Amino acid sequence: MSRTVIIEPVTRIEGHARITLQLGDTGEVEDAKFHLTQFRGFEKFCEGRPYREMPALTARTCGICPVSHVLASNKACDHLLSVSIPPTGEKLRRIINLAQITQSHALSFFHLSSPDLLLGWDSDPVSRNIFGVMRQDPALAKDGIRLRQIGQTIIETLGGKKIHPTWVVPGGVSEPLTQEKRDAMLKLMPEGLDIAKRTYAFFKTLVPKFKDEASHFGNQPTMFLSLVSPKGHLEHYDGFLRLKDAQGRILEDMVPPHEYERLIGEAVEDFSYMKFPYYKPQGYPKGIYRVGPLARLNNVDACGTPYADVALAEFHMLQESGPIASSFHYHYARLVEIIYALEMMERLLKDPTILDARVRARARSNRYEGIGVTEAPRGILMHHYRIDDEGLITWVNLIIATGHNNLAMNQSIRQVADAYVDGNNLQEGMLNRVEAVIRCFDPCLSCASHAFGEMPLAIELKDATGRVVDTLRRG
């Protein structure tokens, strides 16, 4: 008899989701789907707002990724203003973005994924969490908490607060860096880098123990999309789009981010509120690609900092040729990027121009359309706005990092379920492995559910008196 297995909620991720497994009469897996169950609608309720409000508005998409949205939104506003921000303003933006990469990757690795890696897939779920890690390896847990604190402290030092900072503004940043703040942040770098190197060395000893998982956790041929610098180096703030195929051949290179619509289409399905981006020339769903730390390291020619380049070379040794295919190795890639982020922040903070007072270009809106693209911790983040003559938003499209990975996540849970789930003898550890492949991608579902899905629904918008002012229907 066929039946459905529902995993809800999916645990140790940001946001709310469920997984459904369709089992056949003999217990085999016939289908697997990842459902994003939140509905929020940011794109629609931003319409009519002044464009200068967009960084603060869209940052509220998420409490984990506000810096990423602030940066992408402000870059879209820079485009609307037709300004080039002062070089020091750009460097300061880069630092806060790298601090965001550091704290978010630390959260993913230590708090969300290390319980599986350290305690085991089949361990007691009651203790399979950060508190269990604290009991098993107090030093590792302490390192994770401290590393995230370092990233958050830098965000707070620059932005004024750890969550939803407003220091980044259209045209640059609102105030220059003081020597006191610069020196305080520099003092954090050696400790942060020591923790990052120590964790990386520890994780390398774990990798051989998970060969089976690496073979089945999203180990599939896809394309990889990321930003790269003009030299083809690792880039998180600016740069150009590069797309490689599963064999490592470059399909698209040095594409200006504002031309993203030539590359990316978006589809919807009736089982999720998350959109399904795809590579247009190959169509849907064949045009599957992945983004994020795994894609970034697969796409770059070098990181550009000393220790991170050594780690990148070791990363590429995980398989004999071509891009690293297994999504299990997102964990490895995050640790390499933490090292890079700390090395690069230290380099930027020591730049002799970092204390310059000119950090913002001022202008009125000079065009009707603005596009801002940056690399969030989870992958490429795209903000696209249109405005009217009054500077009011008429249309918004947000393509979120987690959304780019939607097709890949759905394929990955099917692959893991096929490998580990026995419908005739279901065990909790089997289902935890299905969840764990989602944790490899580190999805941020609050971000990804920003948009109106094509679910069969009608939603009434009411004013303060309860009067219906608008009805939003499917289609």
User: Angle 450-453-455 (CA atoms, 0-180°, nearest 5)?
Assistant: 145
CA atoms of 235 and 228, how far apart (whole Å): 5
Give the amino acid at 357. A
62 labeled binding residue: yes
105 labeled binding residue: no
The two tokens of residue 413 are 């849970």
Element (H, E) at 60: none
CA atoms within 13 A on the CB side of 473: 2
The two tokens of residue 117 are 């890696």
450 labeled binding residue: yes
The helix/strand/coil state of 17 is strand
65 labeled binding residue: yes
Max distance between CA atoms of the chain, in angstroms, equals: 71
The two tokens of residue 327 are 């999504």
Which 3-state string (H, E, C) describes 171-228?
Answer: CEECCCCCHHHHHHHHHHHHHHHHHHHHHHHHHHHHHHHHHHHHHHCCCCCCEEEEEE
CA atoms of 420 and 430, how far apart (whole Å): 6
Contact criterion met (CB below 8 Å) for 58 and 73 = yes
DSSP state of 257: G
43 labeled binding residue: yes
In this structure, the chain runs to a length of 475
77 labeled binding residue: no
Q: Which residues carry a binding-site annotation for Ni(2+)? A: 65, 444
Annotated binding site for Fe cation: 65, 447
Binding residue positions for Mg(2+): 43, 62, 398, 450
Binding-site residues: 43, 62, 65, 398, 444, 447, 450
